[in-house]
A and B are shown apart, each in its own frame.
Chain A
Amino acid sequence: MEELKNKLKAQIIEALNLEDVEVEDISNSDALFGDGLGLDSIDALELIVLLEREYGIKMDDAAEGKTILQSVNSMAEYIQLKKA
C-alpha cells in the first residue's frame, strides 16, 4: 500500500505539473483540494484521467470524484478496492 501511495504521488505531481513539489511534500492524508495542495476542478478532472490511464479505472460521474479524490489515502484505497 505504501508503495502504491508513493507511486501515486509521483504520478499526481507529473500529471498536474506541480513544479517545486516533491513526493515527500505530500502526506497521505493531506487534502488535495482547497487548502491542501490547492488543486482546482480542472485538476480533479485530470486526476480522473490519471486513474483511467494508469489504473484502468473508469469514473463516469464527476460527483463521485469528490470523495475518492480527497487525499492520497482515499485514492489508494479506491484503487485497491477496484483492483481487488
Chain B
Amino acid sequence: MSKIVITGIGAISAIGNSTEDFLSSLMENRHGIKPISILRTALAGKYLAGEVKLSNEALQHMSGISGMQSRTSLLAAVAVKEAISIAQLDYALLAQTGIISSTTVGGMDNTEEFYYDFKENKNIDFAKLHPSGQHTNQLANYFGIDAYVSTVSTACSSASNAMIIGARLIKSKQVDRVIVGGADALSKFTLNGFKSLMILSDTHCKPFDNNRKGLNLGEAAAYVVLESEEAAIKRGVKILANLEAYSNVNEAYHQTASSPNGDGAFEAMTKSLAMANLKVSEVDYINAHGTGTDNNDSSESMAINRLFKGEDIKFSSTKAFTGHTLAAAGGVEAVISILCLNHGFIPANLNFENPIDGAELTPITELQLDVKPLNYILSNSFGFGGNNTTLLFSKYKI
C-alpha cells in the first residue's frame, strides 16, 4: 500500500507568520508569549497569551482574501496559502485536492462583536461566520479546493484527528492529496472559559515543571499537505516526511480531566507504535502535549514513564513558545515535528526548572542541534472529552 507523505507545510502563530519564521524562532529560543494586545478583553492586563500580533486587516492583506472573514479563517488562509505554495499545487491540482480543517471557536470573534445585535436580529450576516465548518468552506472556495471538504471539532486533538481522517481518505483512494490541519483565533470565549476552569497561568507556562501553574492560550493556524507517495513521486515534488502511523482513543475517564495513570496517552502512543511496527527504543523524540497544567503534565508523564520504562527518551513541549493553540495545536506541533526531522534539531522545553515529584522526568531544556538519529517523532495531542491522539512522523527516505 502506498505510504502517506507530507509535501507541504504552512503555519502562523505567535512564533511567526510562516514555517520559516517558526524555524528561526525555535532555533533562537524566541517564544511568542506576551501581554494581550490584539484581542479586546477586560482580561488583557491580567494574562499573557501567544497572539499573532497582526490586525485582521493585516491578515486579510497577507492572505489576499477580501470581504467579511472571521479571524480564524484569516489565520487559516495564511497558513493554507503557504502549504499550497510549498507543495506546489496549481489550480488543476487543487481542484483534485481535499481539505479537512478543524477549529473549536470558528467565527467566535465576530460573534463576540455582534452577539447583542444578533440577539435583536440586527447584523445577522455575521452569525453566518459562527459555525465551525464555515472557515473550511471559505478556504475551499477561495483556493478552489474541490475534491473533499470537511471539518473536525474534537477540542485540542482536532488538527491531529483531521490528519488521521486525511490519511484514511488517501488510503481508501478517495483522493490523492488532502490539506489537513486546524485554526483557532484567541477569543474572549476561550479565555474566560479556561479562566473559569482555573487552569490559566498568570505568568509564562512551565510545561512538566513541578511548580507549573497552568497554561497560556495561543492562536494559530497550521496545515500540512498529505499525499500518497505514488502521487508525490509522479509529480516530482519534494517529500518532507512520512505520516507513518496514528491512533485515536477515548480515555473514558472524565469530561475534562486526564486519568492519573495516563491511560489514554499511553494507549494512544502504544497503538501508533503498533501500527508502525516500531519498538519503543526506536522513538527519537516526543513532541509532548505538555500544556503546563497540573493535570495534563502529570498524567502525560505517567504515560511516558510507563511506555519507556526508564529508558532514556527525549521529549519536550513547545507550548511555552506558542501557547496552547487548542484545535490548531496538533497542526502547529506536526509542523514543528516535520521541521525537526528536516533540520535535525529538538526544540527546548522553555521555563523548566524541576521535575515533577514522583515522575522524575526531565524534558530537553536546551535546544539540541545535529541530533542523530532523528528518524521517528511522536506528536501527542489530547483533548477534553477524553479524546487522545498520537501521530507518528518519520524521516522520508527514498
Contact = CB atoms under 8 A, between A and B. Distances in A.
B198 A62 contact: yes
Contacts of A48: 198
Contacts of B255: 42
Contacts of A62: 198
A48 B195 CA distance: 12
A49 B256 contact: no
Nearest to B257: A41
Interface string A30-66: 0000000000111001001100000000000110000
Interface string B228-256: 00000000000000000000000000111
A41 B384 CA distance: 14
Interface residues of A, number: 8
A16 to B, nearest CB: 15
A42 B198 contact: no
A45 B254 contact: no
A45 B196 contact: yes
A45 to B, nearest CB: 6
A62 B200 CA distance: 11
Q: Which of A48, A49, A62 has the most CB of B within 10 A?
A: A62
Nearest to B295: A41
Interface in B251-282: 254-257
Contacts of A61: 198
Contacts of B198: 45, 48, 61-62
A42 B255 CA distance: 9
Contacts of B398: none
A82 to B, nearest CB: 18
B197 interface: yes
13 contacts: A40-B254, A41-B254, A41-B256, A41-B257, A42-B255, A42-B256, A45-B196, A45-B197, A45-B198, A48-B198, A49-B196, A61-B198, A62-B198
Q: Which 6 pairs, one residue from A and one from B, show the smallest C-beta to C-beta distance?
A: A62-B198, A41-B257, A45-B198, A45-B197, A45-B196, A42-B256
Interface of B: 196-198, 254-257
Interface of A: 40-42, 45, 48-49, 61-62
